[in-house]
Amino acid sequence: MLKTNLTADLIRDVCRYVEDHSDEALTLAELAKRASMSRFHFARTFKSVVGLTPKQYLATVRLRKLKDGLGRSKRVDTAALDAGYGSASGIYQRAVSHLGMTPRQYRRGGDGVVISYATLATPLGLMGIGATDRGVCFVGFGESRDELVARLHREYARARIEPMREPYHPQFRLWTSAIVRHLAGDAPCPQLPLDIRATAFQMRVWKYLQTIPPGTVESYSEVASAIGHPNAARAVARACATNPTAVLIPCHRVIRESGELSGYRWGIGRKRAMIERERAANA
């Protein structure tokens, strides 16, 4: 136990070093030396403790610093350099996949991004769906239209968020119809295009959740092991809690080790109902 704790402390020290020096060209050899390990042993141990490879962790730290810089209204090039990117141009392709928009748009609170939304009645209550021209960016449940729209505004303070004009765009109508039919137990979960932001770890968790068969549940630990991060159950739970697209990314299929349904941002009752409906549909 003492050795295990010492190893974890060494890895945490390396994590702090990465966070403090993310603007430098860090190498695996350098980080392994700080932990007094061989490169192979360090890489394997780091992934076991943190749930990410050293390269993925560095990328996550840089992305977080980029978001922080953009959120403080720094220039894109300044925020990029402060976060450890060699240049602003080098981050655009990666940032679009992780931010859901370009860095400049994110810095401006979604300025220039148009999000269309609609609210509709479903078997599980009022649902809101928001979409950009790239895909669905939000699916959630609420007690009122105002509550659901407020969630979108908190995430994209300067985006142009507007109700989807009726009659709805044919593609949008297909999306909403597919989700409602699924919630009613009449169709499988639709595979819709998503426009969401995520770290590398979150994306890995969310992609795996989409492979869990309907009506089946797995524990946070089981999900962590399945994606190759057996010690990252808590990180998996956090990824589930921050899922912006209920139903489409089925975080309701993840439960505690004890079998308890545990927390669900859209309500335990809905989580239970979704699992039961899926099981009934597969019976």
Q: 196-234: per-residue pLDDT in tens?
A: 777 778 888 999 999 999 889 999 999 999 998 898 999
| Residue of higher predicted confidence among 59 and 71 | 59
d(CA 234, CA 183): 28
- Which carries the bigger pLDDT value, residue 114 or residue 37? 37
Domain count, the chain: 3
Residues 142, 124 share a domain = yes
How far is Cα 263 from Cα 172, in angstroms, rounded to an integer? 30
Q: Is residue 191 part of a domain?
A: no
Instruction: Say if residue 214 is preceded by a cis peptide, omega within 30 of 0.
Output: no
Contacts of 93 (CB under 8 A, 6+ apart): none
Let me know if residue 186 belongs to a domain. Answer: no
pLDDT at 186: 78
| Claim to verify: residue 228 and residue 255 sit in the same structural domain | yes
The arithmetic mean of pLDDT across residues 93-109, rounded, is: 47
Q: Confirm whether 94 is domain-assigned.
A: yes
pTM equals 0.61
- pLDDT (tens digit per residue) in 127-136: 999 888 778 8
Least confident interval from 107-111, 135-139, 276-280 = 107-111
Phi first, then psi: give them for residue 193, nearest 5 degrees: -65, 135
One domain, residues 88 and 171: no
168 pLDDT band, cuts 50/70/90, is: confident
Q: Are both 78 and 148 inside the same structural domain?
A: no
Query: Is 194 within a domain?
Result: no
The confidence score (pLDDT) of residue 97 equals 41
Residues 148 and 220 in one domain: no
Let me know whether 20 and 90 are in one domain.
yes
Question: Residue 40's domain is classified under what CATH number?
Answer: 1.10.10.60
110 vs 159, more confident: 159
Residues known to be catalytic: 251
Residues 130 and 90 occupy one common structural domain: no
Q: What is the pLDDT of residue 82?
A: 59
Task: Indicate if 130 and 50 belong to the same structural domain.
Answer: no
**Is residue 110's pLDDT more than 70?**
no
Residue 185 is assigned to a structural domain of this protein: no
> What proportion of the chain, given as a percentage, has pLDDT over 70?
81
pLDDT of residue 68: 63
pLDDT, residue 99, reads: 40
Range of the domain at 121: 114-176
Instruction: Note whether 249 and 210 are within 8 A (CB).
Output: yes
Nearest to 8 by CA among 54, 59, 45, 55: 45
Joined together, the tokens standing for residue 20 give: 């403090």
- 78 occurs within a structural domain: yes
Amino acid 128: pLDDT: 93
Q: Quick one: 52 and 34 in the same domain?
A: yes
According to the model, what pLDDT value does residue 59 have?
A: 77
Assign residue 126 the CATH number of its domain. 3.30.160.70
CATH number at residue 239: 1.10.10.10
Query: CA 203 to CA 47: how far, in whole Å?
Result: 16
Query: How many residues comprise the chain?
Result: 283
- Residue 67 and residue 29 share a domain: yes
Nearest of 176, 132, 133, 173 to residue 155 by alpha carbon: 132
Rounded distance between C-alpha atoms, residue 101 and residue 10, angstroms: 36
Which of 57, 86, 107 is the endpoint of a domain?
Answer: 107
Pair 65, 6 in one domain: yes
At CB < 8 A and 24+ separation, what contacts does 153-158 make?
Answer: 155/110, 155/244, 156/109, 156/110, 156/113, 156/115, 157/109, 157/110, 158/108, 158/109, 158/110, 158/111
Confidence of residue 106 (pLDDT cuts 50, 70, 90): low
What is the Cα–Cα distance from 239 to 10, expressed in whole angstroms? 25
Answer with the one of 54, 80, 107 that is the final residue of a domain.
107
